[in-house]
Chains A and B, each alone.
Chain A
């Protein structure tokens, strides 16, 4: 770990003021950032502790939700109104990490969680465009079982653009399917980003995970009126029953009108650099009967264009099977 300065702030304005310092980072739960600092992946010169600036309330009902950026994952997952009106979010949160980690991790921090790509997380690997821009990608010719199949940039191992990392969050997948909005405060005031525009695909700048600008602070995540409270499912496929990142995960929400799907939200985790929401699949579900055939068609559309690598070809089929299963579960109702 490099030496760094530490400053505790008591209000959002103070946080914004402090973050102006060179190479400073906000410290929330620290469950990801501090690990990466110990291993030399993150090397901030200053940590600004924002755990005492407020922003730790959940306001939720059927008409919407506002989740403060510093709400802990445990508190959010166990909030009675979230469980009632946005069970998909609660379900996804409880699928992630461990109780101890969820007790510390924050909503904003989870949005900023970095990839679990082995080659990003270990500085002994010389090539990682995300960690050292321009250094290439060791994952392309390495062990890429956990990597992306959709939306990645593959221009070869030596290209400065190549990145096949995935976003590891479970919460983000649910927020994507729920069509959330991220509220941001910056030096120039407040702005909002639709969830689909918050995280980025690697494109030609794989070092950037999100469209949050330097000096900005996430203050809240908001949710539109609840549509999927009765029919949603979060399915996480992983190598063990708990405490493992997703090979593939599916957040599925259905708004039902009898046996017909009135509207749908569908996003995948573990397959791309960002939560992979499929508007094509959602569109294909809308107005259709909730049948296996409908779900299979949605699944095909959701993974259309997938380009697997040497060790992760299984993800294409696994994602399709998982989508059909998650939609089936969702259609049967939350109690299924």
Chain B
């Protein structure tokens, strides 16, 4: 069904995932699956009890009957839990006070010798509340929207030019409101933590995108020296942002393990993934775009209002793409928020850009129709050669080629620009397109590389593989720098005792971790060369290290490759010691002088049933400008996964909050819809593969997020082309199409 670029595996790339066999054979252990190094029989199972009111406080919890239930070891509530160093931040704090901020808030935990015992005892708790009126109406309270606060300061919107004056030059204007719903990440692997203590030292297996972040959070809130906390996570079963920060259950596991003096395991149930571990906020976007008769945009105004939790602000920057994606004489973009009694918002795959492109790119389609201009042409007319939001160049931008290549692969020229003209039997067929974009981020990282006497190598970094292929490209990168076959490199990650790396979020791991590995491996190679030239028994004795090179596990004279020896021979002769080197890399010093950004073009074909209004996404074609693609299999797969998310954004995903009780009503995979196999047609992903070496020496940018961007709008625009019906409220379900 799904199609990729079908080219042979490029030289130096692993053909298969480094961890593929371990995963399909079940040998790969995820956080909840560990049964050592602690005695397995000691494991204590925790079940989190959640509030059933949206606002107020706990009056009392009668836990006598629960404590008497079979297998129960302890029940912790705000009335008996130990004090943490701080009752904030809210994402970490747990059982510190009796306040209830949302329906589903963790308010107690039952610890028992089995999960069923804990679950059963949880039902025996008698919980009394003092209810308060809750803020649950969002659409009716938009007038209350306020600016977001960060670090105590209000974050104002951005303005460029004189919008009112520029808009007077518009001959065509689009002025509409677009809505995106609350969404929850729902990785296949739910959040899970096993915590155990060895004296004053805390050990944690945690399903996370950021082992170092979990370590810092636990250290801070439990008042432990940083070195007393170790966090491990060799495999993460998807994260999408909700595992980017530690949440309160991680703290709870550590707290409970201390109290019961045994290892404690907490695995969130699927329904517990809706609320306590973050969500993408709902957004209402008023977008006004004015253009002259030639399609040149004179002004863009995007005022976004989103919900936020009464506990703390999280800004989904859905107006972001409107600031920088296209040239416009004047530009005004604001983000405001409305407080709600709901769980915290957080980063979710392409935070800001996913919602922002989903709404802006429908508005652009509407503008193209009003201008009677091809949607691709409209984007080319307003192509931003430099970043209009910051008035500086891009490190590398090849979006034009993306439009051309994707349009060609898709067959865009066959599109009928008038809607509802193309049908097959009961199906209306439509084509749509949109622009994709996501920033190229990078942070400091450190890695360690060892050349082993047996001719193999080791690369270690305290990063994470959240299903993305990090193991694979770590091994490849070390191999390339060392002159080794990548299958001979062992990769390790997911342990906070390894050198530090940033969160596997914001599409930054590739651009952060690989340059560090490159530095470490080159350092190791230099040490190896120096060993050879100082060894009188080596054929390279007294050579200059700058004259040496390595390939296929040999070190040799570049000018005369037959003069040299294998790593194994050299190391064996020198006491069979490994050569080890650490390397660090950080963003370029002049990074503020340019914008580093990825782009893409995505095209979709849909078939919409005339009677049932059900949508089938038949084809999606995406072409991306993401620098150098490090691995074909894992990279194209990740972009494809992003597109599947885009289809889900367009048609399916929505967290529904009950208007009276403030509780999520569809907190299961049966009711919270994501695409199933039958929803996904052919997906054709290609990349330009143009290195962005101003961004980092390897020329690669992260690709975790860009796949979702643009895809939702491409589907929405295709639905319009098929049916002539414009739905501006995601998800686009059959009833909305019928009633449009």
Contact = CB atoms under 8 A, between A and B. Distances in A.
B116 interface: yes
A142 B660 contact: yes
A318 interface: yes
Contact of B612 (A1, A119, A235): A235
B1 interface: no
A241 B651 CA distance: 11
Given A142-B665, A237-B612, A1 B739 contact: no
B538 to A, nearest CB: 62
A141 B611 contact: no
B673 A240 contact: yes
A125 B678 CA distance: 33
Contact of A239 (B103, B123, B673): B673
Nearest to B652: A240
Interface string B678-710: 110000000000000000000000000000000
Nearest to A321: B611
A322 B612 contact: yes
Contact of A247 (B667, B677, B731, B735): B735
A124 B269 CA distance: 15
Nearest to A323: B611
A241 B678 contact: yes
A143 B116 contact: no
Contacts of B123: 2, 40
B679 A138 contact: no
B56 interface: no
Interface residues of B, number: 41
A138 B660 contact: yes
A243 interface: yes
Identify whether the interface residues of A are mostly helix, strand, loop, or mixed.
loop
A138 to B, nearest CB: 7
Interface string A230-262: 000001011111111101000000000000000
B735 A314 contact: yes
Given A143-B656, A237-B614, A325 B661 contact: no
B679 A240 contact: yes
A116 B733 contact: no
Interface in A280-336: 314-315, 317-318, 321-322, 324-325
A189 interface: no
Contacts of B119: 1, 38
A141 B136 CA distance: 13
Given A2-B123, A118-B658, A142-B665, 10 more contacts: A125-B661, A142-B658, A142-B660, A143-B656, A240-B651, A241-B676, A242-B679, A247-B735, A314-B735, A315-B735
Interface of B: 50, 52, 70, 103-104, 116, 119-120, 123, 271, 426, 611-614, 616, 651-652, 656, 658-661, 663, 665-667, 670-671, 673, 675-679, 731, 733-735, 738-739
18 contacts: A2-B120, A118-B666, A124-B50, A124-B103, A141-B659, A141-B660, A142-B659, A237-B612, A237-B614, A237-B734, A239-B652, A240-B651, A240-B676, A241-B616, A247-B735, A314-B738, A315-B735, A325-B611
Question: Closest 10 interchain pairs by CB?
Answer: A241-B678, A314-B735, A118-B665, A325-B611, A242-B678, A124-B52, A237-B612, A321-B611, A241-B679, A242-B676
Interface of A: 1-3, 38, 40, 116, 118-119, 122, 124-126, 138, 141-143, 145, 235, 237-245, 247, 314-315, 317-318, 321-322, 324-325
